[in-house]
Amino acid sequence: MAFDYDLFVIGGGSGGVRAARVAAQGGARVALAEEDRYGGTCVIRGCVPKKLMVYASEFVDTVEDARAFGWDIAPGAFDWAGFRTRLHAELDRLEGVYRKLLSGNGVETFDMRAKLADAHTVELADGTRKSARHILLAAGGWPVKPGIKGEDLAITSNEVFHLDHLPESMLIVGGGYIACEFACILNGLGVKVTQYYRGAQILRGFDDEARGLVAEEMQQRGVELHLGTNVLEMSRDDASGGVLVKSTNGDERVFDKVMFATGRAPNTAGLGLEDIGVELGRNGEVMVDTYSQSTVPSIHAIGDVTDRVNLTPVAIRDGMAFVETIFGGNPTPVDHALIPTAIFTQPEIGTVGLSEEAASAQEPIEVYCTSFKPMQQAFAGRGDRALMKLIVSRENRKVLGCHIVAPGAGEMIQMAGIAVKMGATKEDFDRTVAVHPTMSEEIVTMKVPVRTG
């Protein structure tokens, strides 16, 4: 059977664009359909605009530190409208880059929704059908709300970049990295932030000691954090025009804005997947094997739509492994082990490998840990604390996990991640000469374990 394309990709995010481009560079006939904007969650409504907002929110501390270091600088007012204009212009530029990458490599694009008609056929929104030897699902994920009365009054992380003006007060519901990052960002921009999380501590799944320190620092900086608390219902407050929130702790409070960061779901609804035999999981994720192949051999899936590890670099690596397997003749399983990651709270968390809790449940360990005030912040009179932590196997001395809470932790953990991925031992760290004076030198100067497990 002759196909229109060798590969048809559904989804123009980072993973889908990378797979399409690389396959086309290798000579494959490739098409891609995207119903929204090219760049996906990361570029348009996730990592990139969020990190730019992180930068904007940190200048309050920068100005205060500069004054302590002798600079005659006075803090001014934050211009949200001016920042938002520049932000959207940058996102437009990046979307243009993604489009150019596809067109420049001969990928045919369709700016419309696509669904599957059968194992080798894609049906576009205008009714056109295209056939392909292989179909790659890279449709990403979408924020979900918890299903409570009045939830339509709340925004999600998608809408926060498009606010007409910054509210005076905002309730953020959730305790994951998205909720915590935006709590810190908006607090830094001058919004009075309250955060509700139903669990006992924010950032579930991360190292207990690290997330505990972040929670303390967030509260020290002005975030009003309520743990073990959830929203019951919401309604419009006619007097103020804000949102009246009833919560499980008995409070009834009015906030100018409410933002839900209570989870995301794969974008699989309405794609026709189950009708053609593609198995979906409980959260709607495409079930795939280690080569990203679904239960229908001609259909693969990568990135957030599989709900494996929902990170942009992981989606890109998934896409590269797919192309190598299908078009490179070199079967390459995805590798989701020892992925370094950062949470851009204030202070940041950088982490790779196992938490202390997960490691101690697996085998006997040693824990090396130190907490201190970074030089810059201490000189400026701020009470911020940093944390450096290594989890070490007592049997083979390998570093099983590295956890950093500090300004710039994301930059540090990228380098530490290389060593941990290579299987470095504690003695390898010990043999490395410290760079002084830096925060990160503590990673290689901790000599005595603080505890074993």
pLDDT one-digit tens code per residue, 327-386: 999 999 999 999 999 999 999 999 999 999 999 999 999 999 999 999 999 999 999 999
Phi/psi of residue 37, nearest 5 degrees: -110, 145
- Cβ neighbors of 104 (< 8 A, separation 6 or more) are none
> Which of 162, 165, 403, 436 does the annotation list as catalytic?
436
- Interatomic CA distance for residues 49 and 359, integer angstroms: 34
What pLDDT band is residue 290 in, cutting at 50, 70 and 90?
very high
pLDDT at 1: 74
Active site residue 436: yes
Mean pLDDT of 155-171: 97
On the question of pLDDT at 75 being above 90, the answer is: no
User: Which residues, in sequence order, are CB contacts of 22 under 8 Å at separation 6+?
Assistant: 319, 320, 323
% of the chain surpassing 70 pLDDT: 100
- Stated pTM of the model: 0.96
Does residue 173 register a pLDDT over 80?
A: yes
Q: What's 139's DSSP letter?
A: -
pLDDT (tens digit per residue) in 96-124: 999 999 999 999 999 999 999 999 999 99
Burial (CB count <10 Å: 0-12, 13-18, 19+), residue 238: exposed
Average pLDDT over residues 429-450: 97
> Regarding predicted confidence, which is higher, 74 or 155?
155
The full set of domains in the chain, from first to last, is 5-142+265-326 (3.50.50.60), 151-261 (3.50.50.60), 341-452 (3.30.390.30)
Closest by CA to 242, choosing from 184, 185, 171, 180, is 171
Task: Quote helix, strand, coil % in the chain, to nearest 5.
Answer: 35, 25, 40
**pLDDT for res 180:** 98
Q: What is the pLDDT of residues 231-256, one digit of tens each?
A: 999 999 999 999 999 999 999 999 99
Question: What 3-state DSSP class applies to 400?
Answer: strand
> What are 195-215's pLDDT values in tens digits?
999 999 999 999 999 999 999
